[in-house]
Structure 1
């Protein structure tokens, strides 16, 4: 974008050389009775319009209003398609820069309630530039004054008498105080950093170093949402947006703030679900001689019921388990926690017999949660003898990865837990060779690929077989390679779906 030329009055900000906004081609010549329009925002009427017929003026103004509405509609449509806080901030920065006629800017997400998350996003600014701007005292920077000067909404009861007024009846029967909306400050325009009064010398120094001469800061706040942050756009030359640009960026900013508020609530909900999920799973894997363990757990936005476990057992044995509970959300997480805790108890009592462990788990699930099903695989490992005995209930078979073979373990087919009439699937015994890694995983790893089941198994086998020889001594590296190969884009947190669990055990 070309630099903004110095202006003498607000209407001088209009320039036909600015790039187009939201698909409005600014290179189209303006009608002879109007001045050149803003990019996507038609200019206001000029004094010369007084000589034009009234019908022409009305038509021109209607065209301007329609163009403004079209521009805002297209910009807000693009914004509402973003599904992450960072994505929304970047989209808002780009659209706002075009609306105010700037080239660079930054947005700071800093909710006033202090619950986070916080972030800083730049437009046309490197990470080092953002750090340099943050060295300016907050009281001197325009965005800092907005962040520090915007009050919170008054708490319930603020401004009301502490005691019940006479004649109000029983104590405590006074009506609840309405929540007062927060007061939103006005945007801050610094037309010329060199001549603006009251600026800290550090502010002028940073502006000279980064090559900007003016700024326009907008609070990301509304009366209901409170303060979420602030955005500031930087001009290469002394300038400030005219009244029309201010009006448009104000409308867009209020919409952007409401959208950010919704995304913030979603992000916080995801963080709470992730925290609960991690608390229900092992905080660390045990260290047992003869075997090295690694696990990778990826969860969706609502949290699923996939789980894993690894617990030391008597006589140097080790219990390994993976499973999945039907459903998503808090109820699935609670069921997963109960099922995992029960399996640990059964494993301690009779872990050397995986069929008995899963039989007890089947009976418990049928009696306590008859409407829910689950899959599970439990393996009783003796690392010193490199011996594993395992049984599964409706679960995918383990995969053995080594220098000389990559193959699935042949297990008997069985229905999921909660759907069995009697237990018929026997256990399976295998002996991994020194240096081989056994992969236990949940069905989410296969289903997240989006392929049919047979093709997903083939892709998993190919991914395990392609692990570089140098990485096969590290179970974590093996798990990472398989995940990168099957899910190259990672687990999209915005897409609903099953969790992914991958537990790797390498035998020495």
Structure 2
């Protein structure tokens, strides 16, 4: 029977003897030393203390350089998912493993809870998650490293863990907790070896230093992610929970929240005499203050629209006066349209806002609106209203400037891109205003999340896709 082989030390080659330090051969002295045809044999001796210190210092410098490069790459990540993947890649390099996973389970219970893998697909992660909690190759509740140098030679290994390890082809694992005193407990990271192995003390020390630094960075990104999610939720709750049903017109809305939370908004409300009020707008700034200002402005516009909605100029004039008196340091753009679906007639006024698009079988064009300053920019705002006559089957698309700004193009090219996207809406999609909005959003901003129809009338709000500003689209298709 063959003797059992000890597990390998991960990432370390078989032991190779260091070259011996030898003294230079002495020159023979005539008549006293060995004969001239006999060379002196150098005697090995212990390396000088200075040489050992230099070698040790060189090793420390190399380790610190590696650690510095890896942490520099980590701190350049600004998204939580990207940071988790960078943590796994750097950790696999440090401990000499090929695969791994990180389980993010914040100890405060506020989330988000997620699992990311390196060299492991979703099905592989699902198999690992079937292992009983106490038998996992990692423990998000513990505070120490967990080492399994040879899973199949380990006594007492959970049968399900053994089955999963055999199925996925890993024979050893090394786990570190994501926990520090300041950041608290965030979860754990584990790296998997294809055969029995374990990192040596040096690699474990470097991995520990790196993971502690990574935990602090992840805690900061986690806080940012939570803030973004909260801002997106607040913004969504301040917008209409459902769009009204009015005879003669179909409505759809799409909203994309910027990473900092912005003040873009839309509204649709039934008015007397079977009329409909449609509005889009944007408040300057970002963050909680802009979201709060947006909520106040939208609520005020709803009140003015109910009182004098048939006169859009009067609605925006009242809104401008309110903004100037209550929030003199802030400005806003807005567009309000009074729609009579039975006549397919729209009367609208805009304050510094981009013109809506008319999308139909025979035309795709921007509506001609009067040029006006944003609200709060002039001592007294007023601009003439314009009337638009829509045809049966046409869609009027309202949008905020964030749609144009996110393209990164100059405004003339951004308008051209928007017009081309609207003109390219497939004929089959023109019957659905939601499909029209999705096509325009997907074409103008190809990197934005896929638009989808809102459930129960609620528009989809992305958690903060690429780009710095909010985007709002409001589509009204006339029968």
Alpha-carbon contact 1:325-1:374 (below 8 Å) kept: yes
Q: 1:30 to 1:369 in 2, by over 3 A?
A: farther
Aligned-partner SS, 1:94: helix
Task: Choose the corresponding residue for 1:268, options 202, 206, 226.
Answer: 226
Aligned-partner SS, 2:333: strand
The whole-number CA distance in structure 2 between the counterparts of 1:63 and 1:460 is 59
Please name the residue that 1:153 is paired with: none
Instruction: Give the TM-score normalised by the residue count of structure 1.
Output: 0.83
Q: How does 1:94-243 map to 2 (within 5 A)?
A: 94-143=89-138, 146-148=139-141, 150=142, 185-243=143-201
Please name the residue that 2:235 is paired with: 277
Aligned-partner SS, 1:289: coil
The whole-number CA distance in structure 1 between the counterparts of 2:121 and 2:329 is 54
Deviations 1:181-237 (A, max 9, x none): xxxx22000111112123211111111111111111111111221110111111111
The whole-number CA distance in structure 2 between the counterparts of 1:363 and 1:281 is 23
Q: 1:404 to 1:15 in 2, by over 3 A?
A: farther
Q: 1:331 to 1:123 in 2, by over 3 A?
A: same
The whole-number CA distance in structure 2 between the counterparts of 1:362 and 1:417 is 5
Please name the residue that 2:40 is paired with: none
Q: How many residues are aligned here?
A: 440
Aligned-partner SS, 2:151: coil
Stretch deviating more after TM superposition (242-251 or 484-493)? 484-493
Alpha-carbon contact 1:303-1:330 (below 8 Å) kept: yes
- In structure 2, runs of 5+ residues without a counterpart are 22-43, 450-462
Q: Does 1:54 align with 2:49?
A: yes
Aligned-partner SS, 1:125: coil
Alpha-carbon contact 1:324-1:374 (below 8 Å) kept: yes
Deviations 1:137-161 (A, max 9, x none): 0111131xx223x3xxxxxxxxxxx
The whole-number CA distance in structure 2 between the counterparts of 1:50 and 1:406 is 90
The whole-number CA distance in structure 2 between the counterparts of 1:11 and 1:280 is 58
Q: How does 1:48-447 map to 2 (within 5 A)?
A: 51-143=46-138, 146-148=139-141, 150=142, 185-447=143-405
The whole-number CA distance in structure 1 between the counterparts of 2:17 and 2:249 is 76
- In structure 1, runs of 5+ residues without a counterpart are 1-5, 17-28, 35-48, 151-184
Q: Larger Rg: 1 or 2?
A: 2
Deviations 1:312-333 (A, max 9, x none): 1112111000011111111111
The whole-number CA distance in structure 2 between the counterparts of 1:475 and 1:322 is 16
Deviations 1:148-178 (A, max 9, x none): 3x3xxxxxxxxxxxxxxxxxxxxxxxxxxxx
Aligned-partner SS, 2:273: helix
The whole-number CA distance in structure 2 between the counterparts of 1:11 and 1:390 is 74
Alpha-carbon contact 2:263-2:285 (below 8 Å) kept: yes
Aligned-partner SS, 2:167: helix
Shift of 1:8: 2.8
Alpha-carbon contact 1:10-1:243 (below 8 Å) kept: no
Deviations 1:414-472 (A, max 9, x none): 11111234444211111111111101111111111111111111111111111111111
The whole-number CA distance in structure 1 between the counterparts of 2:223 and 2:293 is 25
The whole-number CA distance in structure 2 between the counterparts of 1:205 and 1:107 is 21
The whole-number CA distance in structure 2 between the counterparts of 1:262 and 1:488 is 29
CA RMSD of aligned residues (A): 2.1
The whole-number CA distance in structure 2 between the counterparts of 1:130 and 1:464 is 42
Instruction: Give the TM-score normalised by the residue count of structure 2.
Output: 0.88
Deviations 1:283-331 (A, max 9, x none): 1111111111111111112211111000111121110000111111111
